[in-house]
């Protein structure tokens, strides 16, 4: 008797199959249409893999893994290039935390620039006024490559780059203090390549669309415009996206160092901070080998899950998060989900739920409880337990984390 597959296969007319790890979780019809469009591109290799947190995205579906041969789709990577997670386990225990966590949250909010100020509102709250030495040191490892890129693409010069390094951003980005299943304290954060990554992403998405028009490509969706190897801007995009992914990784490292230094000022008990540490992207592209071929793998809202590799799958505000170990499943291109996945838009969430709902859902978590954070608590997302069950052949759970402090962007 053949073993039952843990994924569904959708056959796409005129395209490659779509393999979906979505048993027991909802998938919108619009997301399925978007996935079918991606599967019809002539550059897509073997099949498209879909994670259980899948939902409609701008450009490409969030929760998708798209393998391409000798080509990259900039809009599939998106504009928050290198967005991802970092988590660090400490030697602190639950009993070492103060009873009142309010001052700890306030200290983190003061120490880590977060949020977003429109340009007409004066200084940007989400940027450094004067970057501290740690930020300057990290920027020094990135600046030469950035300047070389900006020479080729002057639009990148006037971006938030140095002053956004080590900052959180807005939307669903967060900094958390969590407890694991045996009471150890973890620090966790979610951020990407900030203002500069956004400009790099948008710039090359526009260039790819122009390239498609010039080559009269008949695309199922204009957002799926791609650069082929040898095209005018292919090499520049590979350099730009690789640099933005490095920036994002450094951004999280700097923020984590700043977070740990801030906690040490509030909690005087000495502690070690990187007993276990994970830093992983979930919006990115890189060359990998799958099914005997070298291909570009674009994970848009998906995490690498090679055998033995650690990853982070955060739940939403008020839910659990997971540190996972990859099982190296070749059918998913060795990937897993990047979170729970939205079931409704931010606009719909604000109409459906009240601050009272959010206060109830985040009981026991020291966090903001106001109208602007209604969009990120767990009733707005898929059930994280169902999402984890749907990918039991992709990852195994190593640690289960529950947040006790959350700072939102």
Per-residue pLDDT, averaged over 44-60, amounts to 95
Q: What are phi and psi of 300, to 5 degrees?
A: -110, 100
Selected residue with higher pLDDT from 288 and 119:
288
Asked whether the predicted pLDDT for residue 350 surpasses 80, the reply is no
CA distance 18 to 105: 43
Asked whether the predicted pLDDT for residue 312 surpasses 80, the reply is yes
In the prediction, which pLDDT does 366 show? 87
> Active site residue: 153, 281, 338, 399, which one?
338
Contact 366, 405 (CB under 8 A): yes
Selected residue with higher pLDDT from 365 and 322:
322
pTM for the model: 0.94
What domains appear along the chain, each with residue ranges and CATH number?
8-343+381-408 (3.90.1860.10)
Per-residue pLDDT, averaged over 339-353, amounts to 76
Per-residue pLDDT, averaged over 229-258, amounts to 97
pLDDT, mean over the chain: 92
Contact 68, 45 (CB under 8 A): yes
CA distance 8 to 47: 12
Asked whether the predicted pLDDT for residue 347 surpasses 80, the reply is no
Selected residue with higher pLDDT from 388 and 357:
388
In the prediction, which pLDDT does 1 show? 46
DSSP 257-272: HHHHHHHHHH--S---
User: 97-113 pLDDT, tens per residue?
Assistant: 999 999 999 999 999 99
Per-residue pLDDT, averaged over 383-392, amounts to 94
Asked whether the predicted pLDDT for residue 191 surpasses 80, the reply is yes
Q: Is 282 among the catalytic positions?
A: no
Pairing of strands 174-179, 395-408: antiparallel
Asked whether the predicted pLDDT for residue 377 surpasses 70, the reply is no
């Amino acid at each position: 008797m053949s073993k039952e597959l843990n994924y569904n296969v959708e056959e796409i007319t005129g395209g490659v199959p779509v393999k979906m790890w979505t048993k027991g979780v909802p998938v919108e019809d619009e997301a399925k249409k978007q996935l079918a469009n991606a599967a019809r591109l002539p550059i897509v290799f073997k099949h498209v893999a879909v994670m259980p947190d899948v939902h409609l995205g701008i450009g490409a579906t969030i929760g998708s893994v798209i393998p391409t041969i000798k080509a990259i789709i900039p809009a599939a990577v998106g504009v928050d290039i290198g967005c991802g997670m970092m988590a660090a386990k400490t030697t602190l225990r639950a009993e070492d935390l103060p009873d009142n966590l309010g001052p700890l949250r306030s200290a983190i909010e003061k120490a880590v620039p977060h949020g977003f100020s429109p340009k007409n509102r004066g200084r940007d709250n989400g940027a450094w006024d004067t970057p501290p030495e740690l930020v300057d040191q990290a920027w020094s490892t990135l600046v030469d490559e950035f300047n070389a890129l900006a020479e080729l693409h002057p639009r990148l010069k006037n971006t938030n780059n140095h002053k956004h390094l080590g900052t959180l951003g807005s939307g669903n980005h967060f900094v958390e203090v969590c407890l694991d299943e045996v009471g150890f304290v973890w620090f966790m954060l979610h951020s990407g390549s900030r203002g500069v990554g956004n400009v790099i992403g948008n710039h090359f998405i526009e260039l790819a669309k122009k390239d498609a028009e010039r080559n009269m490509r008949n695309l199922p969706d204009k957002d799926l415009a791609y650069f082929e190897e040898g095209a005018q801007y292919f090499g520049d995009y590979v350099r730009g996206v690789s640099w933005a992914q490095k920036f994002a990784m450094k951004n999280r490292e700097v923020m984590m160092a700043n977070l740990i230094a801030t906690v040490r000022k509030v909690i005087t008990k000495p502690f070690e901070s990187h007993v276990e540490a994970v830093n992983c992207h979930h919006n990115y592209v890189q060359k990998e080998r799958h099914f005997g071929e070298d291909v570009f793998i674009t994970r848009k809202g998906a995490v690498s899950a090679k055998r033995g590799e650690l990853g982070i799958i955060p739940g939403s505000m008020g839910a659990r998060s997971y540190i996972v170990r990859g099982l190296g499943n070749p059918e998913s291109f060795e990937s897993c989900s990047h979170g729970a996945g939205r079931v409704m838009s931010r606009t719909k969430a604000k109409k459906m739920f009240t601050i009272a709902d959010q206060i109830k859902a985040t009981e026991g978590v020291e966090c903001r409880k106001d109208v602007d954070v209604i969009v990120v608590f767990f009733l707005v997302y898929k059930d994280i337990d169902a999402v984890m069950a749907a990918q039991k052949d992709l990852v195994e759970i190593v640690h289960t984390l529950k947040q006790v402090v959350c700072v939102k962007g």
